[in-house]
Structure 1
Amino acid sequence: MDTVMKERDLAGKQREAESINFADLSPTSGFFFTSPFRSLSTEGCLTNVSEPAVDGDVINGKFQQAMQAAFSDARAAGIKHPVLCGAIPFDKRQPSALFVPKKTHWIERSAVMAAVQAQESELPAVLSKTELPEQQQFMQMVTDAVKAMNDGKLEKAVLSRLLEIKTRGAVERPALLNRIIDQNPNGYHFHVPLEQGALIGASPELLLRKNGNQFYSNPLAGSARRESCPQQDAEVSRVLLDSGKDLYEHQIVTEGMRQVLADRSRHLHIPATPELLSTPTLWHLSTPIDGDVLDPQENALSLACLLHPTPALCGSPTRIARDLIEQLEPFDRGLFGGIVGWCDDRGNGEWVVTIRCGTVNGDHVRLFAGAGIVPDSSPESEWRETGVKLNTMLRAFGLN
């Protein structure tokens, strides 16, 4: 409750006079992002930034120079306070999908929710679903990852799978986004336009928010499926809080973040034990982190790139886990498992992890879900966990 109140207070302080009615916007015509902190919708594209973010944490690195050059061009074009928005892939060595919009509208999240509740939307019927990889291959991937941990060089690896959907006719992105927001009112909702289609989702996980010299993060690791019966649901959450396997997985994430943030922070607070965070389908172990930057030149993207990918989306150690993921997963994640958000020219911004999401291109939808693998992981349990995570998007189509 304290975290929610802080976010509401912060949102109030950050509100601008430009705030407009969500009903007057077309949220799927450009970049769209909602959060308890700030929500925005954009129009047009002034300039693209495709520079890979592999050195994005280096203040004077190539990525940061590309970002500052884009801001400079935008100011020269008459944009007073430009914003860079979009997505960065799971593998920061790949090109970024970022741009500076011609217009940015800051909107009230409450207006978004009111407009969504007032709309009715339908989606085309699903004709087929294809799993990539199929269950047996995914379970073998988990077994192989556990074996790789036996030599002690790897603590955790996050393995993912895709679900490809073919629909009867093109999916209307406004209708899909409307249903996702309605079904996941407390998520971070996003729509990122791509060269072909769009990336759409409702992430529960804040990677990095920066406001002034203060920053916040809320990593999630360790989860359990929710139950419809309140008594059973409460028991599930209690068991999760006591789960040695999930607590171990979560500690790897928070300690990994402590190591990379400590040298860049004047103050850093990471609670010793996690708390619970719930979505409509899952309970998560959650740790709210806050701190103050040591260097005033830090910006939301320099810190986000410092953290990304966290052990919650990749594993630990990062390089060894990433190499194993490349070896085991039969696809390129691309933007899945990356980050999506915005950063303004004053260094403020917000980035969330690109999970509970999918890409939509006409009548083709591709959904993504992953699970953290540790030595105690069960292949069948991890398959079920990814299935539950896919439900966030499947529910929008009326499926489970």
Structure 2
Amino acid sequence: MTTTVHEPTTTAAAQPTTLLDDYRPATDRLIATPHHTLLGHGTLAELPHDETPLTTRVRNLLDEARRRTGERQPIVLGALPFAPDAPPALAVPEHVRRAPALETDPLIALPVPITGNAADWQVREVPAPEAYSAAVAAAVARMRAGEFDKVVLARTLELTAPHAPDLPAMLRRLARRDPSGYTFAVPTAPGRTLIGASPELLVARRGANLTANPLAGSAPRSADLAEDVRRAAALLESPKDLHEHAVVVAAVREALAPFCRTIDVPERPTLVRTAAMWHLSTTVTGELIDPDSTTALDLACALHPTPAVCGTPTAVARQVIAESEPFDRGAYTGMVGWQNAAGDGEWVVTIRCAEAEGNTLRLFAGAGVVAASAPEAETAETGAKFRTFLNAVGAAL
């Protein structure tokens, strides 16, 4: 189930693959959703990092952009990090071009060749699989002792090559691999680009209507059709995954209900698939009590971080993550998206992603750990999630 979101004010529509082809790192910001494709060129103004509440800063930035340019509905594009006190990477572009959804363009089916080969990449796992499994086992023991209910633990792959990666080609391969998902490439710091293809909508707002689509509970796809169907059916009946999913959906409902006149949450999840994974999915919809004062980003901030990327209780899960992960998540498991001056927008959970800087790519993948988790299975799940990006890069684990 999808929802239509107000289009930002932009120039005349182009073909989606044209915008993909025109993307340039460092200066451009591209976000493609199941509804449209947005390409922002240049930077009119960046969101400051100060003590003012985030949503107030965004409102002020868009109001100032409207005064300076006369644009009726300027938009802000970019990413927000996992840590609430880390600097944002949001900006109003100088110029925005739009196109329909990627999957509407027949040219999206054309392959993008991979230059080079897997041997070009040096791959370092952080932490190593054995250390990650040990961290999962330690978290499971603490949950069985009643300390907390769930934590999402991540690991990274650091890929280094003799040359800087071809980010435009990588973006095109990601978009073609899952054209019905959420593909993005935005600068997060000077010389650093966040690039990825997320399957998960955090929240979208159009006028008084909102949609959230939490995903939790996963299984890797199989190239064998019969095995692939078996894995999907098993996921739908898995007590461990259904419990993990129910925890996330309950948290989403609790966070959104205060903003809503009505809210609809299906009783059972359905399945969504990407090229690499099956996911349990629930589409939550609602009608806002006061759309004039509740923006898409207000809703996203009320939701972030969901148990799907952090855990529950949130404060304890954050502490366990800090103790267990030997790296800074940065933009990973934050949110990426857009919002216009009317408050409409789409914010996506930043997963299936990497940060590119110089000759290095840093890939991220995580797994939801509950008391019934098996360390080996969670380690294998992160390996399967890495496949989305490894295939786009032409590397192997």
Choose the corresponding residue for 1:300, options 293, 296, 302: 296
Query: Which amino acid is the alignment partner of residue 292 of structure 1?
Result: E
Q: Is the 8 A contact 1:14 1:38 kept in 2?
A: no
The counterpart of 1:139, out of the listed 133, 152, 155, is 133
Could you tell me which residue of structure 1 aligns to residue 323 of structure 2? Answer: 327
| Matches of 2:232 and 2:112, distance apart in 1 | 33
For residue 85 of structure 1, what is the aligned residue in structure 2? 77
Amino acid of the residue matched to residue 272 of structure 1? E
**1:76 counterpart letter in structure 2:** R
Q: Deviations over 1:227-273 (max 9, x none)?
A: 11211111111111110000010011001111111111111111111
CA distance in 1, matches of 2:7, 2:74: 20
Superposed counterparts of 1:68-83, under 5 Å: 68-78=59-69, 79-83=71-75
Which residue of structure 2 lines up, in the alignment, with residue 47 of structure 1? 45
> Which residue among 347, 364, 383 is the counterpart of 2:379?
383
CA contact (8 A) 1:49 1:67 kept: yes
CA shift digits 1:280-334 (9 cap, x unpaired) = 1111111011101122210010000110110000001111101110111101101
- Sort the Cα spacing of 1:119 and 1:276 in 2 relative to 1 into closer, same or farther, 3 A: closer
Conserved 8 A contact 1:133-1:161: yes
RMSD of the alignment, in Å? 2.1
Question: In the alignment, is the contact (CA less than 8 A) between 2:114 and 2:394 conserved in 1?
Answer: no
Amino acid in structure 2 at the alignment position of 1:149: M
Check conservation: 1:202, 1:356, Cα contact below 8 A. yes
1:161 to 155, 161, 170: 155
Among 98, 102, 111, the residue aligned to 1:106: 98
Give the gaps of 5 or more residues in structure 2: none
What residue identity is the alignment partner of 1:346? A
* Counterpart AA for 1:363: N
1:310 aligns with one of 293, 306, 314: 306
Partners of 2:114 and 2:229 in 1: CA distance: 33
Q: 2:361 aligns with which of 360, 365, 377?
A: 365
- Deviation at 1:89? 0.5
Partner of 1:58: none
Query: 2:192 matched to 1:197?
Result: yes
- Report the more deviating stretch, 223-232 or 349-358: 223-232
The DSSP-based 3-state class of the residue aligned with 2:160 is strand
TM superposition shift of 1:99: 0.7
Query: Measured at CA, do residues 12 and 72 of structure 1 come closer, stay the same or move farther in structure 2, by a change above 3 Å?
Result: closer
Shift of residue 152, structure 1, vs aligned partner: 2.2
Partner amino acid, structure 2, of 1:211: R
Q: How many aligned residue pairs are there?
A: 387
Q: Which residue of 1 aligns with 2:180?
A: 186
Q: Counterparts of 1:356 and 1:129 in 2: how far apart (Å)? A: 17
Q: Which residue of 1 aligns with 2:58?
A: 67
Number of the residue aligned with 1:291:
286
SS in structure 1 at match of 2:46: strand
CA distance in 1 between partners of 2:111 and 2:370 (Å): 43
Q: CA deviation at 1:111?
A: 7.9
TM-score calculated relative to the size of structure 2: 0.92
Read off the aligned partner of 2:369 and give its amino acid letter: I
Is 1:250 the counterpart of 2:241? The answer is no
Q: Distance in 1 between matches of 2:331 and 2:102?
A: 28
- Offset of residue 64 of structure 1: 2.2
Residues 1:343 and 2:334 aligned together: no
Which secondary structure does the structure 2 equivalent of 1:77 belong to?
helix
- C-alpha deviation, 1:84, in angstroms: 1.0
Distance 1:334 1:317, change over 3 A: same
Q: Specify the code of the residue in structure 2 equivalent to 1:230.
A: L
- Output the amino acid matched with 1:288: T
Q: Is the 8 A contact 1:124 1:168 kept in 2?
A: no
Query: What amino acid is aligned across from residue 12 of structure 2 in structure 1?
Result: E
- Picking from 237, 241, 248, the partner of 2:236 is 241
> 1 CA distance for matches of 2:115 and 2:48?
32
Q: Which residue does 1:97 correspond to in 2?
A: 89
CA distance in 1, matches of 2:10, 2:59: 23
Q: Does 1:209 align with 2:198?
A: no
SS in 2 for 1:129: strand
Q: Structure 1 residue 226 and structure 2 residue 230: aligned?
A: no
CA contact (8 A) 2:8 2:340 kept: no
The sequence identity of aligned pairs, in percent, is 37
SS at the partner of 1:384? helix
Change (3 A) 1:122 1:232: closer
State the distance in 2 between where 1:282 and 1:342 align: 26
* C-alpha contact (below 8 Å) 1:391/1:399 kept by paired residues: no
Secondary structure at the aligned position of 2:22 is classed as: coil
Tell me, yes or no, if the aligned pair for 2:108 and 2:179 is still in contact at 8 Å. no
TM-score, normalising length from structure 1?
A: 0.92
Matched residue, 1:394 = 390
Amino acid at match of 2:248: V
In the alignment, the residues of structure 2 paired with residue 283 and residue 49 of structure 1 have an alpha-carbon distance, to the nearest angstrom, of 36
Query: 5+ residue gaps in structure 1?
Result: 56-60
Alpha-carbon distance, 1:138 to partner: 0.5
Displacement of 1:365 in angstroms is: 0.6
Distance 1:50 1:309, change over 3 A: farther
| Residue 118 of structure 1, CA deviation | 4.7
